[in-house]
Amino acid sequence: MDENFLRNVQGKTVKINTLDMAIYPASKKLFIDSDFYIINKSRGSGEQDLAELVKSEYAEGCWLFSPDKNNWIHIPGKRTFKRDNGKIISSSIETFVLTGAEDILGREATHYHIHPAIVGRNMVKHTKEQLAREIPLKEKLSHPKKYLNILHNIQKAVILPTKIDIRSLLRFKMNTRHEYHANFKIMSEYGLTTIEFSEQDYDIELLVSYYTHFRTNSLSRNRLRNCEDLAERINEQSLRLFSLRFSAY
């Protein structure tokens, strides 16, 4: 897909002619590409493909799955990377909103994207090094539990949506709600996180700011036993604006 086109549609609603999409057989595994494509396969088979991509990819990728049609639609977008000493410590993708696709989606769709394992591990290492450098010794000594909690819990943060994810997914939800019901899933090396937003209008930037605050708070409060605990801790603070559900492999 033309890069100028991708740059011009970030954050916008774009109607695509689905007849122009490449169609692959069910035997083809999901893959990351620079253009749209369709593969007709079951949800379970597609999720297995995504779990493999999590282990091998450096870049995030996005797909829509239609339970009505058993279609997986790859959605291209603009990828952004943040590096530290040559290593990718964060990866994000902003796709445009797909509308006018009732023939391949039906009335319900799940938006999937992946958080690559290598990026998550690099992020954890970078965060630990950053904390060691930037948090004053006095604060470490006066609040040792909080400091140690963050070091312990940060490894599980890869299951959570980032603030960029929240902004992008909310925009997607609000711009497609009259065409199809969308929910959202993130595949990470630990498992699958499902995000459900309530049916209401949002001040997107206000929610992003609020989420950023209680995400940080959730990682610093007490040691987490597992990823399910982290999802539940987020839910306790979300004011029912959205909810997270985590399922391990």
Is the separation of the CB atoms in 101 and 72 below 8 Å? no
Calculate mean pLDDT across residues 148-169.
Answer: 85
Query: pLDDT digits over 75-124, tens only?
Result: 887 777 677 777 766 677 776 666 666 777 888 899 999 999 988 888 87
DSSP H/E element including 221: none
Query: pLDDT digits over 173-205, tens only?
Result: 887 877 788 899 999 999 999 999 988 787 888
Paired tokens of 77:
């977008």
Quote the distance between the C-alpha of residue 7 and its chain's center: 20
Q: What mean pLDDT value characterizes the chain?
A: 81
Is the pLDDT at 25 greater than 70, yes or no? yes
User: Between residues 88 and 42, which one has the greater pLDDT?
Assistant: 42
pTM of the model: 0.84
Distance (Å, rounded) from C-alpha 166 to C-alpha 207? Answer: 8
Q: What angle do CA 38, 40, 46 make, to 5 degrees?
A: 95
- Of the candidates 120, 124, 147, the one whose C-alpha atom is nearest the C-alpha of residue 134 is 147
Q: What string of DSSP letters covers 56-90?
A: H-SS--EEEEETTTTEEEEE-EEEEEEEETTEEEE
Calculate mean pLDDT across residues 208-228.
Answer: 86
Alpha helical stretches, state H, the chain:
3-9, 43-56, 102-105, 117-134, 137-142, 144-153, 163-176, 204-220, 227-237
